[in-house]
Amino acid sequence: MKVEQLYTGCLAEAAYYIESEGEAVIIDPLRETKPYLDKLEQEGAKLKYIFETHFHADFVSGHLDLAKATGATIVYGPNAETEFEKYEAKDGEFLQVGKVKFQVLHTPGHTPESTCYLLYDENDKPYAIFTGDTLFIGDVGRPDLAQKAGELTKEDLAGWLYDSLRNKIMPLPDDVIVYPAHGAGSACGKNMSSETWDTLGNQKKTNYALRADMTKEEFIREVTAGLLPPPQYFAKNAKLNKTGYQSIEKVLNQGLRPLTPEEFEAAVEHEGALMLDVRGEEDFVREHVPNSIFIGLDGNFAPWVGALIPDLMQPIVLIVPEGREEEAVTRLSRVGYDNTLGYLKGGIEAWKAAGKETDSVNRIDAGRFAEDYKAGKVENLLDVRKPTEYLSQHVVGATNVPLDYLSRNMSKLSPSKTYYLHCLGGYRSLITTSILKSRGFHNLIDIRGGWREIEKTDVPKTEYVCPTTIPQEVIDKAVEEVA
């Protein structure tokens, strides 16, 4: 028996490869099929099943393309209604793979169809449980992603989750390994650990949601507290996972078209393409195509694309580092953005060689910002971190305009004013700066290194408050003001 976790840091997502006697299972695959096909060929194995733990909201799964390429059967648990062929397993059913078997455990709560898969080894002993978004390391799945108006509330789903955990998972042996679908950084939970697996026994000791003395009422209250609104693309990705999508090969073929500066410009002018610059921060700061939007590949790329671009079919053209074109198109497709039209061949140098203009960002270090602040030059400081980060501690006089909610707060801003901007490390504030510049704001000063560098200076700050101790009503009020 072979069990391998295939972890993708950009999405904090874990897929799994399990093999026995030449038969294999892949659990919760990402959009691109090549890594899985290469793995199967390398191991000389035949893919028998593709297990899906639920309808994922934070990424588009690769189940359809993978099934088409291998002939494997797509498996969901009970209550999973799809528009494509699949096997809907029964609660408690066993599925054989080589000399091992999986037991299907329906665990509704994160979503109604959420299902875990319990792996028994060759000696018929429970070995590991693949929990999807039902149980994370240090947390559980949020219960507010599958609500139906007038039918289900997040409290209803949280109650189901409590029962699923107590009745299906916690009675299992303590030495069973817990393999979740996500780790820290995913928006599918609140306080996930950076660890990507653990024993069930240790989780019973350390995971707040598995406390033995916790009542259902306490569980519902704690699991639903502090939930920020989910990113706008979550519901759209979940729908794609239910209904289907075009093949990844078509997406790559279209997105990997090299464009001359003239073709690039024509795509913007005639097809309404969004210019997405995915290079490094300092590259964009130094020189970029006017009105292009920065979301760098070396940051939390795909989730921010999903949070900020409302239309999955938005045409996109890329300014991308040489050699990373396929990576960029692939990572866009992972969150459902399949309409990349191509990339600027030769990058910014080709753009300049064609005699076209470039723009830059006024970026200063934290020391210079401190000088300006003490000299009274900083009249408008935008802190674009999340409300909880801002409430924890911020520069006196700063205004919280979280990047997630920038569009909803544009009316509060004026192109005639000068704004200093910062986030935690510089990535989000540069995204914000690029968006504002594309909308006619040019008196912008981005602070390099963000809060991490600002807090080392002597500019006046509010008293530090541990984020976990901020009263829920304070968080709710702050979110309401910006969202």
Per-residue confidence (pLDDT) for residue 262, from 0 to 100? 98
Per-residue pLDDT tens for 59-80?
999 999 999 999 999 999 999 9
Helix (H, G, I), strand (E, B) or coil at 422: strand
Per-residue confidence (pLDDT) for residue 147, from 0 to 100? 59
b/e sequence 66-104, b meaning 16+ C-beta within 10 Å:
bbebbebebbbbbebebeeebebbeeebebebbebbbbb
Fold matches, 2-236 and 363-482: no
Per-residue confidence (pLDDT) for residue 150, from 0 to 100? 58
> How does DSSP classify residue 395?
B
Q: Which CATH number fits domain 363-482: 3.40.50.10190, 3.40.250.10, 3.40.50.1370, 3.90.550.10?
A: 3.40.250.10
Output the tens digit of pLDDT for each of the chain's 483 residues: 999 999 998 889 999 999 999 999 999 999 999 999 999 999 999 999 999 999 999 999 999 999 999 999 999 999 999 999 999 999 999 999 999 999 999 999 999 999 999 999 999 999 999 999 999 999 999 999 875 645 789 999 999 999 999 999 999 999 999 999 999 878 777 778 889 999 999 999 999 999 999 999 999 999 998 787 888 999 999 999 999 999 999 999 999 999 999 999 999 999 999 999 999 999 999 999 999 999 999 999 999 999 999 999 999 999 999 999 999 999 999 999 999 999 999 999 999 999 999 999 999 999 999 999 999 999 999 999 999 999 999 999 999 999 999 999 999 999 999 999 999 999 999 999 999 999 999 999 999 999 999 999 999 999 999 987 888 789 888 988 887
**CATH top-level class for 2-236?**
alpha beta
44, with CB counted inside 10 A (0-12, 13-18, 19+), is exposed
| Residue pointed to by tokens 């989730």 | 303
Give the chain's radius of gyration (CA, Å). 24
Kindly list the strands in the beta sheet with 13-20, ordered across the sheet, starting from the edge strand earlier in the chain: 2-8, 13-20, 23-27, 46-51, 73-76, 87-88
Domain boundaries, the chain: 2-236, 246-353, 363-482
Pairing of the two strands 444-447 and 316-319: unpaired
- Concatenate the DSSP letters of all residues of 172-232 into one string: S-TTPEEEESB-TT-TTSSS--S---EEHHHHHHH-GGG-TT--HHHHHHHHHTTPPPPPT
Whole-prediction pTM: 0.92
Pairing of the two strands 46-51 and 23-27: parallel
State CA 212 to chain mean position distance: 31
Give the Cα separation of 321 and 344 in Å (integer). 10
Per-residue confidence (pLDDT) for residue 82, from 0 to 100? 96
Provide CATH code, domain 246-353.
3.40.250.10
Per-residue confidence (pLDDT) for residue 467, from 0 to 100? 85
Give the Cα separation of 244 and 228 in Å (integer). 28
Dihedral angle at the C-alpha atoms of 293, 294, 299, 300, nearest 10 degrees? Answer: -10
Kindly list the strands in the beta sheet with 177-180, ordered across the sheet, starting from the edge strand earlier in the chain: 94-97, 100-106, 115-120, 126-132, 177-180, 198-199
